[in-house]
Amino acid sequence: MQRSIQYNLDMAFPENRMRRLRRSDALRALVRETTLEPGDLIYPLFICPGKGVRNAVGSMPGVFNVSVDEAVREAEEAARLGIGGLLLFGLPEAKDEQGTGAWDENGIVQQALRALKQSDAAKKLVLIADVCLCEYTSHGHCGVVVEGREGFEVDNDPTLELLARTAVSQARAGADVVAPSDMMDGRVAAIRCALDASGLGMTPILSYASKFASAFYGPFREAADSAPQFGDRRSYQMDGANLREAMREIQLDLNEGADMILMKPAMPYLDVVRAARNRFGVPMGAYQVSGEYSMLQAAFEKGWLDRDRAILESLVGIRRAGADFIVTYFAQDAARLLG
């Protein structure tokens, strides 16, 4: 006969000792609420022309601009480590006002996608192509530029066709997922319609649904050679003070056909990640952006932080806030630590 045991849930010290479950690695692992695995990580790659090219990015220690052959080697290592996927950015040989290199069938990202698809690594990695024009335009903005109130304006609607052409070109070249990061209104619907009309209806869209105008993008602009030649991007990227607006942006992108959402940046916007996780049931990632990476690297070089612990702690914090996966330049380092 079983006894009915009454538990006093209001017990305090000394009956309740929270440290009991912290006494060993095994106990801590058993009760751990948030996990981090290599498969949760997405590794960004910056693809440049040439062969055997591996150019260091000065503001991002450990990050390189790599040629297609070197990108294949990076992919093979990422696959060996169990990393979930790659996010590809392109540095074209030439730029123009409309960014035509973005949708060129022989563009740098398209070349990389075809080469990666032929490698054994492609079977283990999700290949995600960033859809934007800033790396390909001579002015460095994310769309078609016209005269406007501030001296210039990114013209939203004509830009949509160019983004859609880019996404279709990337999907044809082998992208498993296309990821629009431009923050134009209506771009998800335009891309979804173009993919479907091109027989690419099964290609998922990972939308940078709430991308904030942030100071933490600085090092990326060196890596991708995408700094605006005039003005800034605050007329299309979000104001960092607005959480409610971020929820509206996400809802609109989902209504237009986004399959997944990506929050950017991560660390300064963990409250936005948590709010999105509480409200939306779709797969969601967060991007630990270049400034977050470079800031930590600077502290490591000074000896101010324990490198290995800080890398993993920063990523666990993003997961705990609600991200299902994380885009991070620490992906390979973290995967080795987790292995």
DSSP letter for each residue of 136-203: TBSS--SSEEE--TTS-EEEHHHHHHHHHHHHHHHHHHT-SEEEE-S--TTHHHHHHHHHHHTT-TT-
Query: Quick one: what percent of the chain has pLDDT higher than 70?
Result: 97
Q: What is the mean pLDDT of residues 120-124?
A: 92
* pLDDT of residue 205 exceeding 90: yes
Q: Residue 264 catalytic?
A: yes
Q: Residue 117 catalytic?
A: no
pLDDT (0 to 100) of residue 157: 95
Residue 253: CA atoms inside 13 Å, Cβ hemisphere, count? 33
Query: Quick one: what percent of the chain has pLDDT higher than 90?
Result: 85
pLDDT (0 to 100) of residue 280: 97
pTM for the model: 0.94
Asked whether 186 and 255 are in contact (CB, 8 A), the reply is no
Quickly state the pLDDT bin for 6 (edges 50, 70, 90): low
Contacts with 73 (C-beta within 8 Å, 6 or more apart), sequence order: none
pLDDT averaged over every residue in the chain? 94
Catalytic one of 51, 117, 211, 302: 211
CA distance 117 to 123: 8
Quickly state the pLDDT bin for 276 (edges 50, 70, 90): very high
Range with the poorest average pLDDT among 112-126, 227-241, 285-299: 227-241
Q: In sequence order, what are the beta bridge partners of 180? A: 131
* pLDDT of residue 150 exceeding 90: no
Catalytic one of 51, 117, 264, 302: 264
Per-residue model confidence as pLDDT tens digits over 83-102: 999 999 999 999 999 999 99
Q: What is the mean pLDDT of residues 309-322?
A: 98
Range with the poorest average pLDDT among 11-25, 302-316, 317-331: 11-25
- CATH fold, domain 35-338, is TIM Barrel (3.20.20)
**Residue 170 identity:** Q
* pLDDT of residue 10 exceeding 80: no
Quickly state the pLDDT bin for 7 (edges 50, 70, 90): low
